[in-house]
Amino acid sequence: MNELAVYAVSSGNSRGREVPEELPTGRSEFQRDRDRIIHSAAFRRLEYKTQVFVNHEGDLFRTRLTHSLEVAQIGRSIARNLGLNEDLVEAITLAHDLGHTPFGHAGQDALNECMRDYGGFEHNLQSLRVVDVLEERYAAFDGLNLCYETREGILKHVSRKNAQKLGAVGERFLQRRRPSLEAQLANFADEIAYNNHDVDDGLRSGLITLDQLEDVAIFSHHLEQVKEKYPVLPERRMVYETVRGMINTLVTDLIQQSRRNIKAAKVESLTAVHVAPPLIGFSQQIKKQQQELKKFLLDNLYRHFRVVRMSAKAHHTIERLFSVFSSEIKLLPTQYQKKFDREGHQAIADYIAGMTDRYAIKEYQRLFAIVEN
Ligand code: MG
């Protein structure tokens, strides 16, 4: 473990767990959180959930699992450099996408629309719900009983309405206080990871091209550097080298700028972090370059007709599943029927959100296709 800065989260200033437990031996509280997350069923399901490309489209594209691992790797490097709690960052980043529906954002949007009359569906809140309630593996409590700081980091956003129902972990959204620097950092690690791997996956899929990317400043800058150093290089290696260069620049810039921010704000405790402005961030120049890259990906990858077509199918699948379960509760597996009696439509949302891409496709076929399966 690295030397912790005074503003880091530590076991000493942690607000602890909802259900008190004995201290772990041989590992820290946050290492225990990470271990619980890795052993959860929801974590295993990430392997078959989409990031941008649907799971069956190819074996080399990122899934939510490989995405989460990349986020954890980037997050830990940054944490170590800033004297922040690396174990906490690892726990937050590995858990940050646990609540995602099948089929990425299309699935989440569809489920949110379906749940409109029943409180809506928010994937960040669902990630918290997974670790707080839905995992059933301990005798003494529901969920994983994670430390407050891990839960705070997982709940990146939440509506005010839902924040009011959440108790301590919802308070910061009502009082407009900042989460720990570890939680702030996890968001940036997420952003660095997905922007860069979407470039890589986008090129691999052929939906975007190197030619197009040469108009994007941060990409062309790094591509030029690679070409200068290695004039003859197969395209795949050139892309890897360029992406590696971009990640390195972003991580380095984030560390340097955040260090300056922390120093300027004279933050000397965790309590001070909560009332200071957000302190983890990029320099203005890199922020602008990141925005340009994001816009490029939005216009050319996420809105590519093939991605839109897949999203439309995903939307349709989730919508049909939700509506058929709502009109005939007996189509739900028995445990979800019981849950529906207690919790209403939230039970259907939990069932659907927990599905992997391929499970949702299979369930759709079982329900709507007149074939043997
Ligand atoms: Mg993510």
**What per-residue confidence (pLDDT) applies to 58?**
63
Are 123 and 100 spatial neighbours (Cβ–Cβ below 8 Å)? yes
Instruction: Kindly list the averaged pLDDT for each block of 10 residues, start to end, along the chain of length 373.
Output: 88 94 94 98 92 64 91 98 98 97 92 96 96 96 97 95 93 95 98 94 92 96 97 94 97 98 97 97 97 95 89 94 97 96 97 95 92 62
Query: Mapped to the 3 state alphabet, what secondary structure does 184-252 carry?
Result: HHHHHHHHHHHHHHHHHHHHHHCCCCHHHHCCCHHHHHHHHHHHHHCCCCCHHHHHHHHHHHHHHHHHH
DSSP state of 16: -
Spacing, Cα 233 to ligand 1 middle (Å): 31
Q: Domain 29-308, what fold?
A: Hypothetical protein af1432 (1.10.3210)
- Alpha helices by DSSP H, the chain: 29-38, 41-45, 64-82, 86-95, 104-114, 123-129, 148-154, 160-163, 171-175, 181-205, 210-213, 217-229, 235-264, 270-275, 284-297, 305-327, 334-343, 345-354, 357-368
Spacing, Cα 227 to ligand 1 middle (Å): 31
Q: What is the largest CA-CA distance in the chain?
A: 67
Spacing, Cα 120 to ligand 1 middle (Å): 20
CA quadruple 212, 216, 219, 222: dihedral sign: positive
**What per-residue confidence (pLDDT) applies to 293?**
96
Query: Mapped to the 3 state alphabet, what secondary structure does 312-350 carry?
Result: HHHHHHHHHHHHHHHHCHHHCCHHHHHHHHHHCHHHHHH
**What per-residue confidence (pLDDT) applies to 3?**
84
Q: Where are the domains of the chain?
A: 29-308, 309-368
Backbone angles phi, psi at 369, to 5 degrees: -95, 135
Spacing, Cα 51 to ligand 1 middle (Å): 8
| 9 CB-side CA count, 13 A | 29
Spacing, Cα 67 to ligand 1 middle (Å): 7
Q: How far apart are the first and last CA of the chain?
A: 51
**What per-residue confidence (pLDDT) applies to 61?**
75
**What per-residue confidence (pLDDT) applies to 181?**
98
**What per-residue confidence (pLDDT) applies to 156?**
93
**What per-residue confidence (pLDDT) applies to 178?**
97
**What per-residue confidence (pLDDT) applies to 59?**
63
**What per-residue confidence (pLDDT) applies to 372?**
61
Q: List pLDDT tens digits, range 347-358.
A: 999 999 999 999
